[in-house]
Structure formats: structure tokens, C-alpha cells
Chains A and B, each alone.
Chain A
């Protein structure tokens, strides 16, 4: 597990060695499939406190069943088509929505507060350390993520709130939908290693060969 965790950091930096170059003339394929999560999904829980016990956290198991499928090494040239994007990680009912966000480096993430209470979004991850301070409902603050890596996000006021942002140096990744499906398109021919990441760790890795004949490739993962 330790090796896999260390490996993902390198993977997110995404060295392009051994992988054929891509170009717009090459035939492109689609990789798609499902990630079946067989292990129990940890629900968000308040820290039990004798001094001030609080009620149960509103269940958000669907939000927490997201996995991320990504290429460990991306095609050469994949790093050249970066574009600045803007996405949102909401705070609703003391929960980060979505629980998992995957973005390319250079993306700006907005953190709007849709609750009545203050929130204080922060991260102490090496890939991005930030603290947005306390801010009220109806307002938003943003952070630009320039460095690939895993950024664990928390609220300083509500200890049960957490989310993960996976920052990639390429675009060959996808977050699963409600049914656990994913799809990564415009994949050039070559040999790759795909990883399925779930709740803090790579759970399964599978090799993949994409031929020069454009087609859709089904590749399923199982998280145990």
C-alpha cells in the first residue's frame, strides 16, 4: 500500500517515457468501463465528543463512491494541450460535493459555501497548501492548482468534512459516475497502465494496449 501511495504521486506527474507520441493525425480510441466497489464505503462521521455530542452526518454515500481511473503515463504531447479551466467544489449540508475531484494542473477550483454556517477550507498537502479562512454562506473563494499531486481538502470548523482533489499533468483520467462508469476518450495507440484510485489509494492497476484501429475498449476494475 505504501508503495502504491508513493507511486501515485509519481504517476500524477506523469512521465511520458516509453509511451508513443500522439498527434492529431493518429487514430484515437476510447477507453471505458466500470469500477465496481465491493469494499464498504466509509461514511462521514463526527468526531465523538463527550462535551458536545452532535447528531449523525447526513449520509452522502453516493457522493463518496466515486473512483478515479487514470493513465499512469500519458502519451507524449499530452502535456502540451493544457488549458485553464474552472470547476467548483461546493460545500452543502456540511459536505464537500463532489467528494472527489480530478482536474488538470492549471485549473482553478471555486469553493462556494452554500450552508448557513461558516466554513474554512484548507489543505496541508504537499501538492498545495492553502487556507481560505472562514467565510459565510453565499460567498466563494478559489484556488488555482498548478502542481500535479493529491490534495486532501478539509474544513477547519467541521472535522467530518473532507474531499480529495487529484491534480494531473495530463487529461487522461475520468471520475466515475453514479453507476460507477467511466470513459476516457481520444486515446492514441500505445501501451499503457491504467490505475483505479479510490478513497486515498490506488486499488487496482491494469495494463492496456491501444491499437491503431480506432475503437472502444472496455476495461473494468474491482475495488475490494
Chain B
């Protein structure tokens, strides 16, 4: 059996103190460097053909023993250090290339990774029409949160549950019975099933924003910038985007966003794609091997703003169909629904307060001991605020209350501070 190490030991006190002081050091450095004109706009090279922007966030927070904030790379979003560089190369008026390089690690444990997060060609056949095609490693055509940059547009430090919280499902391993699935309730950070990959690994979120998918996306804007339609064909699914087509069938996703008035934006999204990987299907018995097990998702989001107020809400509901192999059978699709509402109010120039209510719940499956939700439902309240030291340097702090009806830790009070810089 293959196992993957997962460091949970607390770091030495000195190291923790050093990490906690890093945001302060960074701010002091930023202030000192202000006189030397840190860039607060993207860098342009080669007569404007190349544009480079950057985004860095340094977050220090309390430990999260319940894994409420863990991302699909095994790090807590409340202890994440992330550096992004986004470059755009304009080859012609119609064709440009866009790439995002990202390095990220856990501010307490390390676990550094780096690589190309996005890399695609962008073609605008008509320069005077709002139509374009993107091909390569592309962003999802789904949801409202996925279209915003994390450092500058995320009101708080934590991510919305739908885009970050790890359910117990995996694409490379499946349960034989409903009881196998129930045994993993609240263990999305480290799950194991008898069919498929033998090692323990992380589950998937409803929609992953930590990896981009591979495929083609077409986007068209309606006159007056009142609405936009995006449709994509990708190799992976919302939960499990990837480089290769490991599930044997592409995913189709569509998003329609409209701006009925300047202060109102609404969007609806839908997606459907094969979720369970082919290597798992290959080992399934009988008829089960020939079927496709899909993830279907629906999303709706809205943003209202006026004056010093900004309010957003977003609903994501998705279901996964898994093979029904042994009793008690998993005959119905597994559904997960997430809903959030968040708001921001600007208290003074550069200073705001924000809060988010977020909950996620799951449908019931017939276990031997009776029906029970297939994963542990949870809800989260996060409150905090931000202060802009400079236009592009922001300090954030937030407190989180998490509650879950299962798992090793049912309740968690968490706090974090963040420095975010962009140009």
C-alpha cells in the first residue's frame, strides 16, 4: 500500500514566531520601500506587447486541526504563502498568450510547490467584437468567486466552502458500499476507499480554484457590456480539473453573467463531466465498468453594490454519481450544496469591515445503521476586515467559527492575519 506523509506536528515555537512576524516585517519593508516607488501598476515591456502583473499573499494563522481550511494541495488557506506572476504576451491584435506562474507553501510547515497555474492562447478574431477563444490550461466557466483575484478581491482570508472545503469523495478511488462512504464522513483531508487507488489521499472540493482545467473556452459579450456568455470544453471536472483526460469524457461548462444595472451583477452556471477516472472504472465488476459516473453542477451568484456597501451571495449545488457495487447500495447521486452570503462596508478611506456566512450540506444515503448524510455538514462564519497601507498593499485580519456534525474536530475557532500585495 502506498502512503503519503502528512506532517501534523506543531513547528518549533521560534519558527512559528518568525512566521507570525513576517507580515509585520513585510509591511515595514513596504513602507520603507514606498519612497522608492514600488510598482502599483502592471509592468509593460516591448512597447506594451508584454504586460506582467503580480500578486503575493502572506498569511499566518492558528493551526487548523479539523482541516476546515485545507486546500487540495494539502495546505491550510489560513497559513498560505502565495506568489503569483501573470504575464500577457500580445503577438498580434488578435492573438495573445497568457500564463500564470504560482509558488505557494504553508507558512507553518512549508510544503512548497511551484508551477504554471494557467497557460493559454487567447484569440480575438474580431478586435471590435467581444468574442474570444481561449485554449490551453484555462479558468473554469463556472461560478462567481472563480472570476475574482484572491488577494485583492477576496473580502476575507478564508475561501468560500464550495471552492475550498474538501469533501470525502475522490476521483481515483470509490467506495464499494454506502458504509464505506459514511466511514469517511468529515475526513475529506485524508480519505481511503477499497476500489481504485490504494493510498490515502485528499478528497475533492465542489469546485476547485487551486488548479485550472485543460481545454477550450469561448466567451462572447453582448453589446453594451450588459451580459457575457462563456462555454468551455475541458478534460477534467469542476472538482477534479487536470492536465490529462483521465476520465474518458470531457466536461461541458457554461456560465451566463448579466449586469442589469451598474450596481448589480448576476450569474448562473452549469457543468457536466465524467468524474470517476478510467483507471477506477477499469477495475469495476461487470456492467459497472462500462458506465460513466458524472459530476453535474449548478451555480447561481449575485453581487450588489452601492456607496460603501458590497454584498454577494452564491449558491453551488453539485451531484456525483458513483457505482453501486455492494449493499447498502449507492443508488442515488451524492449531492452537496453550498450557499454563502458575504458583505463589506467601507468604514473610512482604506479601511473596511467584512463578514461571510457559509454553509454546506449533503444528501442522505442508506447506511446499515440508517440514513445519514454522506459527508458531515458544516457551516462557517468569518468576520474581519482590511486596511490598505498603500493602494496595493493591504493588511487583513479575520476570525472564523467553524462547526461540523462529524469528523475528528467538530468545532474550531480560528484566526489569521494576511498581507496582500499586488501590481
* Pairwise interchain contact B262-A131, C-beta atoms closer than 8 A: no
Of chain B, the residue at the smallest CB distance from A5 is: B35
What's the nearest-Cβ distance from chain B to residue A138, in Å?
A: 10
* Pairwise interchain contact B139-A116, C-beta atoms closer than 8 A: no
A24 at the interface (CB under 8 A from B): no
Contacts A5-B35, A48-B87 supplied; 8 other A-B pairs, CB < 8 Å: A50-B86, A50-B117, A51-B118, A53-B98, A53-B122, A131-B308, A131-B348, A154-B391
* Pairwise interchain contact A47-B422, C-beta atoms closer than 8 A: yes
Partner of A160, one of B41, B88, B225, B388: B41
* Pairwise interchain contact B100-A50, C-beta atoms closer than 8 A: yes
* Pairwise interchain contact A48-B98, C-beta atoms closer than 8 A: yes
1/0 per residue A40-83: CB within 8 Å of B?
Answer: 00110111111111010000000000000000000000000000
B4 at the interface (CB under 8 A from A): no
B42 at the interface (CB under 8 A from A): yes
B52 at the interface (CB under 8 A from A): yes
A162 at the interface (CB under 8 A from B): yes
* Pairwise interchain contact B391-A116, C-beta atoms closer than 8 A: no
Q: How many residues of B contact A (CB 8 A)?
A: 50
Within 8 A of A (CB), among B163-222: 212
A221 at the interface (CB under 8 A from B): no
* Pairwise interchain contact B305-A48, C-beta atoms closer than 8 A: no
Give 30 A-B contacts (CB < 8 Å), ordered by A residue: A2-B35, A42-B44, A43-B44, A43-B48, A45-B42, A45-B51, A46-B42, A46-B51, A49-B53, A49-B149, A50-B117, A50-B212, A51-B139, A51-B146, A51-B147, A53-B88, A53-B122, A117-B225, A117-B262, A118-B262, A122-B350, A124-B350, A124-B391, A131-B308, A131-B349, A133-B306, A133-B346, A134-B263, A134-B307, A162-B41
Of chain B, the residue at the smallest CB distance from A152 is: B391
Given the interface contacts A50-B212, A116-B225, A162-B41, does A133 sit within 8 Å of B422 by beta carbon? no
Enumerate chain B interface residues (CB-CB to A < 8 A): 35-37, 41-42, 44, 48, 51-53, 86-88, 98-100, 117-118, 120, 122, 124, 130, 134, 139, 146-149, 152, 212, 224-225, 259, 261-263, 305-308, 310, 346, 348-350, 388, 390-391, 422-423
A200 at the interface (CB under 8 A from B): yes
* Pairwise interchain contact B262-A129, C-beta atoms closer than 8 A: no
How far is B98's CA from A46's CA once the two chains are assembled, in angstroms?
Answer: 13
Partner of B88, one of A1, A48, A122, A135: A48
* Pairwise interchain contact A118-B305, C-beta atoms closer than 8 A: yes
Chain B residues with CB under 8 A of A152: 391
* Pairwise interchain contact A45-B48, C-beta atoms closer than 8 A: yes
What's the nearest-Cβ distance from chain A to residue B49, in Å?
A: 11
Within 8 A of B (CB), among A100-142: 116-118, 122-124, 129-131, 133-137
